[in-house]
Amino acid sequence: MFEWQPLPIAGNLRGPLVCYVLHGTEIARLSQSGGRGDWQATLDQHRPWERRQVRSCTSYASGRRGIELWATRHAGRLLAEVGAIHAARQSPWWRSDTRPVEGVPGAT
């Protein structure tokens, strides 16, 4: 259900596993901040920026573990939100206009 993938940048198939994905949709990401090399986790990556949460991590390994625990705790909500995103993308209007879809996070 959940899986780690490298950052999806032009052919970056061998980079560090920093994107946590649910059914093809990124839900969380690990990144290193600035020149100090500290790690941080961005949760709810599938939501608009203002609704995401950023957490400091003591290491890459602790960040991965924290994201995995968070995703397990929020699995029901994440499945529903990712399902709504996928359903909206398959809708015929998705390609022809910009009407918001009720129940899709960030679509209003």
Q: Where are the domains of the chain?
A: 2-73
pLDDT band at 96 (very low <50, low <70, confident <90, very high): very low
Q: Do 16 and 9 contact (CB within 8 A), yes or no?
A: no
State how far the alpha carbon of 59 is from the alpha carbons of 7, 41, 43, 52, 106, in Å. 18, 10, 16, 20, 31
The pLDDT value recorded for residue 43 is 97
Mean pLDDT rounded to a whole number for the chain: 83
Q: What is the pTM of this model?
A: 0.78
Can you tell me which residue has the tokens 């690990």? 30
Residue 7, amino acid: L
Per-residue pLDDT, 89: 81
